[in-house]
């Protein structure tokens, strides 16, 4: 059964089958003033995510009935944009890359410190609030129209399907106004300064964006590599 607690302004859904971890998260998040929902399997978590106004989802990867990657894929395919932090006992780089590519905002490897997780929660919610506050008129650049309110990209009149994180990386480059951003700057702006990723993660997202936005991904006209420095967006 899911457990709900009344409390603070922001609602956090924890989907975790390890009761000791879920109880610890529930207790500490409640103490920080969050309203906490807890689900013990992926199907129950998906039901709660669809039913309520969730401000943040903390999602374990290894779940019964529906694993974390599958749940994440469903939520993003339904264009549900709540920020998601993934938890996993597996620290393999490819697991982290998969979670981020599917649209998670952050990925934390178990075991983790509660202080670090609470700091990540605050950082993710702060970035989400800033992004929502800045929603306004679509950004037009070349043959692209980027709508921050609906988080949609239109290219030559056709909608381009991007994951949540692909959209964030693209928006980061566009908002740089033609300036070159290093991989570290992109990582910091998209996931926050405390995120421990690798340059390969950024490169993978750039490759995916080029495949979706460029006439010739191998000879890009929008997302240009500045050798030895990073990437910049050309409108």
- Identify the CA nearest to 188 among candidates 127, 136, 133: 127
- Pairing, β 223-226 against β 230-233: antiparallel
Strand 230-233, strand 56-60: pairing: unpaired
Interval 58-86: pLDDT, tens: 999 999 999 999 999 999 888 888 899 99
Which distant-in-sequence residues (6+ apart) come within 8 Å of 24 by Cβ?
Answer: 114
> How high is the pLDDT of residue 133?
63
CATH architecture of 136-233: Orthogonal Bundle (1.10)
C-alpha distances in Å from residue 157, one per residue of 94, 154, 177, 184: 34, 6, 23, 33
Sign of CA dihedral 109, 115, 120, 125: positive
Distance CA 138, CA 102 (A): 24
Domain boundaries, the chain: 3-132, 136-233
Q: Which residues contact 130 (CB under 8 A, 6 or more apart)?
A: none
Could you tell me the pTM of the whole model? Answer: 0.60
Q: What is the pLDDT of residue 88?
A: 87
By CB atoms closer than 10 A (0-12, 13-18, 19+), residue 73 is middle
pLDDT score, position 126: 83
Q: What is the pLDDT of residue 3?
A: 42
Segment-wise mean pLDDT, segments of 10 residues, the chain, 235 residues = 48 95 94 94 95 92 94 89 88 78 88 90 83 69 83 91 90 87 88 71 93 94 92 90
Query: What percent of the chain lies above the pLDDT cut of 70?
Result: 90
Q: Taking the CB of residue 4, how many other CB atoms lie within 10 A of it?
A: 14
Fold for 3-132, please state it: Rossmann fold (3.40.50)
């Amino acid at each position: 059964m899911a457990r709900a607690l009344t409390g603070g302004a922001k609602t956090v859904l924890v989907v975790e089958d390890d009761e000791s971890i879920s109880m610890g998260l529930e207790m500490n998040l409640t103490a920080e003033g969050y309203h906490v929902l807890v689900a013990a399997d992926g199907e129950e978590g998906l039901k709660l995510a669809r039913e309520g106004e969730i401000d943040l989802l903390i999602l374990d990867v290894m779940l019964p009935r529906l694993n974390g990657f599958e749940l994440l894929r469903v939520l993003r395919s339904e264009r549900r944009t709540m920020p998601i932090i993934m938890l996993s006992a597996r620290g393999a780089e490819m697991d982290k890359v998969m979670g981020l590519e599917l649209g998670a905002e952050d990925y934390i490897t178990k075991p983790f410190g509660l202080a670090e997780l609470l700091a990540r929660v605050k950082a993710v919610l702060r970035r989400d609030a800033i992004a929502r506050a800045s929603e306004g008129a679509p950004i037009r650049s070349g043959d692209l129209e980027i709508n921050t309110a609906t988080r949609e990209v239109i290219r030559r009149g056709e909608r381009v399907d991007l994951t949540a994180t692909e959209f964030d990386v693209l928006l980061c480059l566009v908002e740089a106004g033609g300036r070159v951003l290093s991989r570290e700057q992109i990582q910091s702006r998209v996931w926050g300064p405390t995120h421990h990723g690798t340059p390969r993660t950024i490169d993978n997202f750039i490759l995916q964006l080029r495949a979706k936005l460029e006439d010739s991904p191998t000879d890009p006209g929008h997302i240009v590599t500045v050798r030895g420095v990073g990437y910049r967006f050309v409108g």
